[in-house]
Amino acid sequence: MNPFSSGTRLRDMIRAIRACKTAAEERAVVRKECAAIRAAISENDQDYRHRNIAKLMFIHMLGYPTHFGQMECLKLIASPGFPEKRIGYLGLMLLLDERQEVLMLVTNSIKQDLNHTNQYIVGLALCALGNIGSAEMARDLAPEVERLLQFRDPNIRKKAALCSIRIIKKVPDLVENFMNPAASLLKEKHHGVLLTGVQLCTDLCKISSEALEYFRKKCTDSLVKVLKDLVNSPYAPEYDISGITDPFLHIRLLRFLRILGQGDADASDSMNDILAQVATKTESNKNAGNAILYECVATIMSIEDNGGLRVLAINILGRFLSNRDNNIRYVALNMLMRAITVDSQAVQRHRATILECVKDSDASIRKRALELVYLLVNESNAKPLTKELIEYLEVSDPEFKGDLTAKICSIIEKFSPEKIWYIDNMLKVLSEAGNYVKDEVWHALIVVITNASNLHGYSVRSLYRAVQTTGDQETLLRVAVWCIGEYGDMLINSAGMLNIEEPITVTESDAVDVIETTIKRHSSDLTTRAMCLVALLKLSSRFPSCSQRINDIIVHYKGSLVLELQQRAIEFSSIVDRHQNIRSALVERMPVLDEATYSGRRAGSVSAVASTSQAATLNLPNGVAKTAAAPLVDLLDLSSDDVPAPSSSGGDFLQDLLGVDLAPASSQSGINQTQKSGNDVLLDLLSIGTPPAQSSTAIPEILSSNQDNKSPINILEQLSSPSAPSGHVSSPANSPMVDLLDGFAPKPQKPEDNGTAYPSITAFESSSLRVTFNFSKQPGNPQITLIDALFENKTSNSCTNFIFQAAVPKFLQLHLDPASSTTLPASGNGSITQKLRITNSQHGKKSLVMRIRIAYKKDDKDALEEGQISNFPRGL
Amino acid sequence: MIRFILLQNRQGKTRLAKYYIPLEESEKHKVEYEVHRLVVNRDPKFTNFVEFRTHKVIYRRYAGLFFSLCVDITDNELAYLECIHLFVEILDHFFSNVCELDLVFNFHKVYLILDEFILAGELQETSKKAIIERMGELEKQE
């Protein structure tokens, strides 16, 4: 009985679903149908089983879950009739895939069907195996499929051939078994069998080099002949597509020849003639012909060198490139990418056309063309190409600008002949598409500018001009703000004027205007605003006349709701107000940033952090103290009417003091840099996330004297006044912060509570022993607790062979240093100390707990004491 | 190799989906949604190729229906474009002047035709006549 002709229930269901006006209605219908199908399944209804599965397939296509029908498919496959099996296999392929365990159950049914006397059923089984067969099935059923490759009906042979492809892909060991039968398929006249046979041989060669050798020796010549016959064959209506007999077979043959010819001069040689014939004789006014030409060019490019053919191929691509059909141009660009490794000169000839393609309205073509242009750039054409691309940047689609700027910047960085060219072009890119530029790019630009000491003035003036014309590109503003902050004086006095420059008159207040507009700009983000504050601080010393105005702007941000800005504003305003004497030294120009170190770090950071590579990897050692550091309030001891500085963690503070690294606190990468010298730390403080220069200027020198001073020192405390009341909480967990302003102020006070934020405990006490634990935290790592254990003897006899052992649960890691001694003298005469280090992987969630055991010898008797310590202070 | 074949209408309703690689159900829905988004708004003058993740989608629009094939990046785009057209011709011949409704109500037959045309992600038969004849034989078996 046929579910689709007589019983119209499937049609009815589809109609009902199509009649639904809303998604809710549709869901209701589907729910009802599913319920009925489930009921039928549980009743083990046989008559309607295949109709139910057919319905389920439709429901599945609509996106509803249908897993409950999987077993029904298996039952259908096991039933004897063709219609049931057909629906069963269809359902199997739709509702299941190779990863489901259920599939294993069907292996046996498929095996039986592969041996079935009805060839249509054999066909169904082959189809299912080919489409969703798993590796296990492939292994189990390979002998059957191998046998079917010689089946009398060509329909089965071609299915078996494609099925074999899946088998050898799943189980490459089976390649050997299929080599001989596959080779005999190549002698077939039937197109379908030949087509699938060629495909099977191609895949065999891809998987096994042994097969490749075998086919290369045995079949190259005969394949050339097959292709020759096909090319010269008379009109065959059955296979004709726009005047060409079976273009698909052409393409498969060309592709197989490509694999045979690649890396083998003899094989390549034997196919030269036919390739030349295909390349010259194929009609190129229809898609089918072009598809063959395209494949032929690919083969010519891949096989061993034959100059004449290559010229032919490049010419075909040239023709393609000027074709009006976008598809043809697309494949031409695609192929030219491969051709460039073979003959880059020939590709260069088409540069102008390719450049036009970058401006195409179709994104697919643009993307290909841009990648090709990128490969075409070399020292000699970098300048004009960059110019063209930048000009196009002005008019390109917004969604393409990201890709385009990335490529342009990469070209500029790679091929810049001189710094002024680099700076000029980067400025153009930033002015056009600054919002699409990645952080690394503008960071690199700043590094380049600082290194070009003769271009400082030029750069800052160009930036000033650029900002005047286009003031809405974030990264342009950032670079401009940074440069004005650093080289503001050169902007005013036109120092280092180049001949090519037009003179420009900028007053001090004009320069401050730029920064004021930027900081007040609605769309400026946190980084930009923070940079503006730094620039203002710097300008306050460079432009004494504007000092008051600058202070006014800064003061305005003291009330900012953004913590970062508020803090900077408060600190900077204090510097401007009260510390005139040190200000100029404090805001010295940045030392030259070392390009080599920068690019090295940049390269290293790529793998470490994908997106915010710059910010994250350059995070300072200080940065990791964030979570642990106690709040450093009142850093500058602000006058009482000021808003108290909200606590920022200690490490962070220094880092951000002048920098722009606003990296997320989560960055742990800084740990790796902890061992770096303090010099590094401090230089980074003043940088925008760039590495230190080797040349020290005033600040680092002063600071470097403190390099070894790892104890936390109250930053800037002295700035406020030496007699500052110590409402000051110094964090024991502070990282190696070095006093930034040590050189300018009286000796810093020693922090009064060095490393004892946690009270000591008596961990264990018995009639004869007392164990006391003192805690400290390792700088920068909240998870690690250092414990100094102190063992005291309460009795009057000394203990020998003293051994302390401890055990901790899994979330803790314990490291015991050797004890100071193994002998514990009698009471009052001394003690043993031992250091423990505990790493708490669940820091903040679980507190420490420890089991201890102490063994010793007293009065020549062994003694053993045990205990559990659970009175650790919280938060360790 | 063909990774999957999709037949979708302009609203994004899937009329046929055939995967030759194993994918989770949720992933399939995502793929169908993404492919539809990629192809539906493209200008008819544009190329019939769009890059999709690490592969390429070759699509062609016939009236309100989009036929999309996802193939390897190194595959011959033009050949697959021709392949879509051949498939449509076969459908057209089989249903004599095919329309979307034919495909909806006879979806199981469409799958059957596809299984005679493409297997294991590779082209199986290039003769329209052979496939139509084969379909006739299969229908006789019912």
Q: Which residue has the higher pLDDT, B121 or A753?
A: B121
How far apart are alpha carbons A735 and A652 in whole angstroms?
10
Q: A252 CA to chain B: closest CA distance, Å? A: 10
Specify burial of residue A613 (Cβ count, 10 A radius: 0-12, 13-18, 19+). Answer: buried
CATH of region B2-141 = 3.30.450.60
Least confident of A638-647, A800-809, B80-89, B92-101: A638-647
| For chain B, domain boundaries | 2-141
Residue of A5, A127, A287 with shortest CB distance to B119? A127
Cβ contact A295:A313 at 8 Å? no
Hey, which residues 696-735 in chain A have their CB within 8 Å of chain B?
none
pLDDT-based confidence at A509, cuts 50/70/90? confident
Q: A99 CA to chain B: closest CA distance, Å? A: 7
State mean pLDDT over A203-214: 94
Whole-structure pTM value: 0.69
Judged by CB atoms closer than 8 Å, whether chains meet at A291 and B82 is answered as yes
Q: Which residue has the higher pLDDT, A720 or A288?
A: A288
For residue A97, what pLDDT is reported? Answer: 75
Q: A194 CA to chain B: closest CA distance, Å? A: 10
For residue A721, what pLDDT is reported? Answer: 39
- Bridge partners for A840 per DSSP: A812
Asked if the C-beta of A50 comes within 8 angstroms of chain B's C-beta atoms, the answer is: no
For residue A714, what pLDDT is reported? Answer: 42
Token digits of residue A797: 């006899």
pLDDT-based confidence at A15, cuts 50/70/90? very high
Name the pairing type of β-strands A761-765 and A244-245: unpaired
Does position B55 have pLDDT exceeding 90, yes or no? yes
Does position B124 have pLDDT exceeding 90, yes or no? yes
How far apart are alpha carbons A840 and A849 in whole angstroms?
10
CA of residue B85 relative to chain centroid, distance: 10
For residue A604, what pLDDT is reported? Answer: 53
Contacts of A132 in chain B (CB under 8 A): 22
Helix residue ranges per DSSP H, A710-869:
717-720
Q: Which residue has the higher pLDDT, A44 or A735?
A: A44
| Amino acid sitting at position A615 | A
Judged by CB atoms closer than 8 Å, whether chains meet at A195 and B123 is answered as yes
State mean pLDDT over A410-438: 89
When scoring B26, B27, B78 by the number of chain A Cβ atoms within 10 A, the one with the most, hence best to mutate, is: B78
Judged by CB atoms closer than 8 Å, whether chains meet at A294 and B15 is answered as no
Q: What is the mean pLDDT of chain A?
A: 79
Least confident of A176-180, A384-388, A655-659, B126-130: A655-659
Does position A492 have pLDDT exceeding 80, yes or no? yes
Does position A791 have pLDDT exceeding 90, yes or no? no
Specify burial of residue B27 (Cβ count, 10 A radius: 0-12, 13-18, 19+). Answer: exposed
Residue of B17, B81, B122 with shortest CB distance to A287? B81
Does position B68 have pLDDT exceeding 50, yes or no? yes
User: Among all residues of chain B, which has the CA nearest to that of A87?
Assistant: B108
For residue A595, what pLDDT is reported? Answer: 75
For residue A736, what pLDDT is reported? Answer: 42
| Amino acid sitting at position A255 | R
Q: A340 CA to chain B: closest CA distance, Å? A: 16
CA of residue A87 relative to chain centroid, distance: 45
* For chain A, counts of helices (H) and of strands (E): 37, 10
For residue A601, what pLDDT is reported? Answer: 64
- For residue B43, what are the contacts with CB-CB under 8 A and spacing of at least 6? A361, A362
Contacts of B27 in chain A (CB under 8 A): none
Q: Which of B111, B142, B116, B139 is nearest to A82 (CA)?
A: B142
User: Among all residues of chain B, which has the CA nearest to that of A240?
Assistant: B127
For residue A576, what pLDDT is reported? Answer: 83
Contacts of B83 in chain A (CB under 8 A): 248
State mean pLDDT over A133-149: 93
Judged by CB atoms closer than 8 Å, whether chains meet at B119 and A159 is answered as yes
Residue pLDDT, tens place only, A816-828: 888 888 888 887 7
When scoring A127, A207, A283 by the number of chain B Cβ atoms within 10 A, the one with the most, hence best to mutate, is: A127
Judged by CB atoms closer than 8 Å, whether chains meet at A251 and B134 is answered as no
For residue A839, what pLDDT is reported? Answer: 83
Residue of B17, B43, B79 with shortest CB distance to A291? B79
Share of chain A above pLDDT 70, in %: 81
Hey, which residues 569-608 in chain A have their CB within 8 Å of chain B?
none
pLDDT-based confidence at A8, cuts 50/70/90? low
ipTM of this complex: 0.96
Does position A748 have pLDDT exceeding 50, yes or no? no
Contacts of A54 in chain B (CB under 8 A): 108
Judged by CB atoms closer than 8 Å, whether chains meet at B119 and A131 is answered as yes
Cβ contact A337:A371 at 8 Å? yes
Helix (H) / strand (E) element for A745: namely none
Q: B28 CA to chain A: closest CA distance, Å? A: 9
For residue A705, what pLDDT is reported? Answer: 41
Asked if the C-beta of A18 comes within 8 angstroms of chain B's C-beta atoms, the answer is: yes
Q: Looking at chain B, how many residues does it have? A: 142
Share of chain A above pLDDT 90, in %: 34
Asked if the C-beta of A522 comes within 8 angstroms of chain B's C-beta atoms, the answer is: no
When scoring A18, A53, A94 by the number of chain B Cβ atoms within 10 A, the one with the most, hence best to mutate, is: A94
- Chain pair A-B, CB pairs under 8 angstroms: 157
Residue pLDDT, tens place only, A685-696: 444 443 434 443
Contacts of B86 in chain A (CB under 8 A): 241
Residue pLDDT, tens place only, B27-43: 999 999 999 999 998 99
Does position A732 have pLDDT exceeding 70, yes or no? no
Judged by CB atoms closer than 8 Å, whether chains meet at B46 and A127 is answered as no
How far apart are alpha carbons A202 and A259 in whole angstroms?
7
| Dihedral of alpha carbons A603, A608, A609, A613, sign | negative
Asked if the C-beta of A254 comes within 8 angstroms of chain B's C-beta atoms, the answer is: no
Judged by CB atoms closer than 8 Å, whether chains meet at B108 and A57 is answered as yes
pLDDT-based confidence at A616, cuts 50/70/90? very low
Judged by CB atoms closer than 8 Å, whether chains meet at A238 and B107 is answered as no
| Half-sphere exposure for A777 (CA within 13 Å, toward CB) | 27
Asked if the C-beta of A7 comes within 8 angstroms of chain B's C-beta atoms, the answer is: no
Q: Which residue has the higher pLDDT, A738 or A837?
A: A837
Question: Highest-confidence range of A24-33, A396-405, A757-766, by mean pLDDT?
Answer: A24-33
For residue A202, what pLDDT is reported? Answer: 96
Does position A720 have pLDDT exceeding 50, yes or no? no
Asked if the C-beta of A158 comes within 8 angstroms of chain B's C-beta atoms, the answer is: yes
Does position A668 have pLDDT exceeding 60, yes or no? no
State mean pLDDT over A312-338: 91
How far apart are alpha carbons A476 and A407 in whole angstroms?
18
